[in-house]
Amino acid sequence: MSARTAVQGVVRLAGPRLPLVSFLARLPAALCPTGTLLMVTALDGVGRGGVVAGLLWGGQAVGGPLLGRLADRRGHRPVILAASLANALLTAALVVASVGALAPAVQAGCAALAGFTVPQIGPLSRTRWIALAGGRRDGHELVGPALAFDAVVDETSFVAGPALVGVLAWAVHPAAGLVCAAVLMAVFGTVFALHPTAPAPAPAVAAAPTAAGRTAAGRVLSGPLLVLIAVTVLQGVVFGAANTGVQYLARGDAGVGGLVWSAMGVSSAAAGVLLASFAERFDLTARLRTAVAAQAVLLLGLLPVDGVAGAAVAVGAVGFAVAPALIAVFGLVERVAPAGRMAEAMTLLGSGLIAGQGLAVTGVGPLVGAHGPLAAFALACAAGALALLLVLALVRLRRFPPARPAPAPALAAAAASS
């Protein structure tokens, strides 16, 4: 299957509107952390900026799985709609509190609540692709390309987000990025919530095994899922530490730093497109081990970097391993999570990425101040090496067996009648 054929097959699942809507709805998640740090730093100093941005990150990490669990139980439409509107209002409140120089506690509270109400559109979008593919006779062949396609949308949003924040801050106002995020969330979060592909609530009585061999309801935190969460936390540390080193080299210029960091998103998106053409040739477990190993090696290219040009080349090279790793991780969730709790499982992985980034940024900041960007890049390399050891030891086919394809409707009917 060529990349073009794979993309065409995926788009036919839901039409061309869903990818565009999901891109614009998930863009605020890329705008808010950088936009908050930039706005509060410009208005109140770097110390308060780090605290407020850290609370927003923490709110996202905690709130994401709770919203995902509600989306499984109540359906995507009411949960994402309420979260999107609440997040838009709270993001606007954070802007007012910062521009109006309100008390630090008020700014911190607005940031934590704004982060808590961010709907993780990326993970929730992946649950939709899995549900759509599962309803087709050829769905098993489309799950891999669909997740690869969604990863490209994700990476594109995280390329555009930091760059857009930098441009808006330079051309308009330090708070312009967050204002843009609030508007996008109010409009496109609502459209995403109400899109016809929104899954209905998972049936409360569906506890029997499905045709794919999994139960619709059950315990979400299994051993294999905890392994995947650990992988995403380490991946988040890679992102957070490497980005901190890049921002140091950019000497605090958010526009330059955002553009340098976007090199990873460009190469990662390209890798995701290429992966769609041969996504089913290798098992997901083998693909994850290969991608994490490649990332661990490519991260070593960051260690000798001492300027923004070298950083752009190095992070761009790392990006070629990022999309394949994330596609494999989120694909393996579909194998081990209960079918009726897929949104919660996906958002747990999304929170792992967020938590890892927040921990890295908070922990490596003082080290970078004392030792320069090498400290941040060394942490990224260490996290990449630890992720490699983890997947080599624990990500095996016997722990993540592929789901059995559902029988064709005619065969299912015949079996039921017998």
281 has pLDDT over 80:
no
CA gap 340, 346 in Å, rounded = 12
Instruction: For residue 352, give the nearest of 87, 159, 65 by alpha carbon.
Output: 65
pLDDT tens string 220-246: 788 899 999 999 999 999 998 898 888
Tell whether pTM > 0.85. no
pLDDT reading at 160 higher than 90: no
CA nearest neighbour of 244 among 108, 355, 387, 380: 380
Residues 6+ apart with CB under 8 A from 57: 33, 115, 354, 355, 357, 358, 361
CA separation for the pair 396, 400 (Å, rounded): 6
Asked if pLDDT for residue 203 goes beyond 50, the answer is yes
- Cα–Cα distance list, 257 to 55, 97, 198, 323 (Å): 22, 26, 36, 21
Residue-wise pLDDT tens digits, 93-125: 999 999 998 998 999 999 999 999 999 898 888
Please report the domains of the chain, with CATH numbers, ordered by start residue.
3-198+218-400 (1.20.1250.20)
Task: Please state, in angstroms and rounded to a whole number, the distance separating the CA atoms of residues 122 and 251.
Answer: 31
* Position 136 confidence tier, pLDDT thresholds 50, 70, 90: low
**Average pLDDT, stretch 26-42?**
84
CA 221 to chain centre: 19
Q: Tokens at residue 282, please?
A: 């290798």
